[in-house]
Amino acid sequence: MNIGEAAARSGVPSKTIRYYESVGLIPPAHRTASGYRIYTEADVQTLRFVSRARGLGFSVADCANLLALWQDTARASADVKALARQQVDRIEAKVAELQSMKETLEDLMERCHGDARPDCPILSDLAGSASRCHVQETRKTA
């Protein structure tokens, strides 16, 4: 099958398939005499595997490790579980970071009057004290 059909069957866009090939995540597809890529059902299954792993937030490098483990029938499931644990740890850190961002924004919104006044704690916070001083200095010299 050609790249378009492989993309349709795997749910992975053609551009992404080319990218995965270029970074060595998947082996380069066989080519016809005229240079068109040819994919097999096994290639489509590999693309689905990678797509699912990427959907769970695994990096390209992690996907390469997972693919190697998937293809190794002598693998230890402990190795797979360790990769999954590392990913859960990264997700938990990201959730904590997002929660902190949310709390900060909620606090700033609570302090903002949201009316016609020009004073805005949200913008003041984004500018930071050093930036406010710089803006005031620029205005004085202009």
Walk me through the domains of the chain, giving residue ranges and CATH numbers: 1-57 (1.10.1660.10), 112-142 (no CATH)
Partnered with residue 21 across adjacent β-strands are none
Q: Using only C-alpha atoms, what is the Rg of the chain?
A: 25
Partnered with residue 56 across adjacent β-strands are none
How far apart (Å, rounded) are the C-alpha atoms in residues 122 and 6? 48
Give the N- to C-terminal CA distance of the chain in Å, as an integer: 67
142 residues of the chain, pLDDT tens digit each: 999 999 999 999 999 999 999 999 999 999 999 999 999 999 999 999 999 999 999 999 999 999 999 999 999 999 999 999 999 999 999 999 999 999 999 999 999 998 998 989 999 999 995 444 445 555 555 5
Amino acid (one-letter) located at 44: V
